[in-house]
Amino acid sequence: MDRAILRCVVARVILAAALLSLLVGHATAADSLREQVFQAADRVESRVIAWRRDIHQNPELSNREFRTGNLVAEHLRRLGFDEVRTNVAHTGVVGTLVGGKPGPVVALRADMDALPVVEQVDLPFASKVRTTYNGEEVGVMHACGHDAHTAILMGVAEVLAGLRDQLPGTVKFLFQPAEEGPPPGEEGGAKLMIKEGALTEGARPDAIFGLHVWPDTPGVISYRMGPAMAASDWLQIRVTGRQTHGSSPWRGVDPIIAAAQIMTALQLIPSRQLDITKAPSVITVGKITGGVRANIIPDEVVMEGTIRTFDPEIRAQLLERLERTVNRVAEANGATAEVSVRSYAPVNYNDPELTRQMVPSLEAAAGVDRVRVADLVMGAEDFAYFSREIPGLYVFLGVNREGVGPEEAAPNHSPLFFVNETALKVGVRTLAGLAIDYLEAGTRN
């Protein structure tokens, strides 16, 4: 009897040792592959910086990213990607890298378009590009860091292609045009990429990751579980009056005065008519056009702006009150008004379970003390359309100058927006690490 018990104990010890060895082996393999990824990110750093500078110096507006798309496609082909689809959503590129081992499918996304902004950053590779936008001659600048996003993902493609034999699964690379919104009258962006099969043609991804450079401490990664970035709507208000001489306003209807009163009244909707304890909201008018001469009151004024919300119920209330406010203020002035609202993107939502799973990957890429929980961001991102289709995680990468705090730095969309290139390597480590760790976890499960 004692010998039987002894044999049972010995057998259990041997089994436990075998299981421990297997688990250690898995951990060692994962750590080894991650370490190889990080070493490869170091090696590709100079090339990522060079790509970023080239793209920065040659920016292209939404749905016009012809040069950038060609640069990306040729890079993926040189790396031996299994499939490279071009002209997706006009100028987008979808590359598929099949690993040497079976496993899940993960997608990584970067946006490629620039903004109609005249650059004011003193750089040897500053943009001098000018083009026509909405009938006006404008400068063109990567004032939101999409040049960095594209270069980072090109670096990730090179890193993972070099390790493809060890990849336990498939990685889809989505290089997206028109994140800033397509030109009037055109489709574009993430919504059109999805419509044209970016997620469904070939292997369908189980999850998607993306990042955005941000005015924060260089190399710091911040994330938020659940709602992270606001839903965004384009707003246009057309106020119609009756033209008259500027010296005799009573002989007409002044749409400029009506528009001024409307713009002020709009600010009372978020601050006085909506429950601010539920979720924040913003109405901003960014453009007003009307009139051709100082002493002529015009027939019409057009205001354009943006609406930001985090809660569908709050959004519905805001839109109802906006329509009512605009029409009644216009009516009080003897004018008429027409309100047009066009959705840009829903709330950018980070899947809670996926986020919890991937936080250790963020900490490995940036360092435990350099990963933070972000505040809500009123900015919007059409990455939200991807994460409505499959679980997604979207994070922020700090790119400030050394010693410059978040409140001091020029924000995204500023002509002074600056990217600290020392942070780009962290971006490569982050996206490549997320992909590797997700594939490894899916294989173990």
Could you tell me where the beta strands, DSSP code E, fall in 126-259? 130-133, 136-139, 168-176, 207-214, 221-223, 226-229, 231-240, 244-245
Query: How far is C-alpha 250 from the chain's CA centre?
Result: 49
Neighbours of 187 (CB within 10 A): 13
Residues 387 and 172: their CA atoms lie apart, in Å, by 15
> How does pLDDT run across 53-83, given as a tens digit for each residue?
999 999 999 999 999 999 999 999 999 999 9
- Percent over 70 (pLDDT), the chain: 93
**Calpha distance 181→201 (Å, rounded):** 24
pTM: 0.89
Sequence ranges of the domains in the chain? 27-228+347-444, 231-345
The per-residue pLDDT for 13 is 40
Burial profile 158-172: b = 16 or more Cβ within 10 angstroms, e = fewer: bbbbebbebbbbbbb
Q: What is the DSSP letter of 107?
A: E
Residue 8 has pLDDT above 50, yes or no: no
Q: Tell me how far apart the alpha carbons of residues 259 and 193 are, in angstroms, rounded to a whole number.
A: 37
Q: Alpha helix (H) ranges present in 112-253?
A: 146-161, 189-195
Region 374-402 average pLDDT: 97
In angstroms, the Cα distances linking 47 to 6, 33, 75, 97 are 62, 22, 12, 20
Looking at residue 9, what is its pLDDT?
42
24: pLDDT strictly greater than 50 = no
Structure tokens at 347: 């709330």
* Contact (CB, 8 A) for 441 and 166: no
Q: What number is the average pLDDT over the span 162-181? A: 98
Mean pLDDT, the chain, as a whole number?
Answer: 93
Q: Is residue 5 over pLDDT 70?
A: no
Cα-Cα-Cα-Cα torsion 292, 296, 300, 302, nearest 10 degrees, comes to 50
Q: Which amino acid is at 267?
A: Q
27-228+347-444: CATH superfamily: Zn peptidases (3.40.630.10)
Q: 134 pLDDT band (50/70/90 cuts)? A: confident
What are the Cα distances from residue 294, in Å, to 205, 246, 262? 58, 8, 21
**What pLDDT, in 10s, does the model give residues 413-441?**
999 999 999 999 999 999 999 999 999 99
Separation of alpha carbons 133 and 231, rounded Å? 25
Please tell me the predicted confidence (pLDDT) of residue 445: 63
Q: Which residues contact 152 (CB under 8 A, 6 or more apart)?
A: 48, 110, 211, 424, 427, 428, 431
pLDDT at 28 > cutoff 90 = no
Q: What class has domain 231-345?
A: alpha beta
Question: Is there a shared CATH topology between the 27-228+347-444 domain and the 231-345 domain?
Answer: no
pLDDT band at 228 (very low <50, low <70, confident <90, very high): very high
Instruction: Name the phi and psi angles at 227, rounded to 5.
Output: -60, 125
Per-residue pLDDT reduced to its tens digit, 234-272: 999 999 999 999 999 999 999 999 999 999 999 999 999
pLDDT at 374 over 70: yes
Q: Average pLDDT, stretch 391-419?
A: 97
What's the DSSP call for residue 374? Answer: P
Residues serving a catalytic function are: 113, 179
